[in-house]
Amino acid sequence: MANIKQQIKRNKTNEKARLRNASFKSSVKTAIKVVEQAVAAGEKEKALSSLPLAHKKLDKAQAKGIYHKNYVARHKAYLASLVNTI
């Protein structure tokens, strides 16, 4: 445990950011899963309607610095190709 005042403050800030990032990552994973499940079930309309939301969440995560740009690009391409298979 840190005994320097500034480091104690940084630890609190880092913990808040970690929780916020974990929450956002969870919502991104859920959006991706919705698209994957719609494709697996063969529901084209649901897949097409949930794809933009997944793309939006991935873009926002990249803008916030949660995910690397290549990770986002890879997942967006994967989801788009998945939806096109229906």
The DSSP-derived string for the chain is ---SHHHHHHHHHHHHHHHHHHHHHHHHHHHHHHHHHHHHHT-HHHHHHHHHHHHHHHHHHHHHTSS-HHHHHHHHHHHHHHHHT-
**pLDDT tens for each residue of 43-63:** 999 999 999 999 999 999 999
> In the predicted model, what is the mean pLDDT of the chain?
96
Q: Take residue 74 and report the two structure tokens written for it.
A: 């890879």
Tell me the pTM: 0.86
Q: Is the pLDDT of residue 2 over 90?
A: no
Domain ranges of the chain: 5-84
Confidence of residue 20 (pLDDT cuts 50, 70, 90): very high
Fold of 5-84: Methane Monooxygenase Hydroxylase; Chain G, domain 1 (1.20.58)
Tokens 């991935």 -> residue: 58
In this prediction, residues 64-69 reach a mean pLDDT of 96
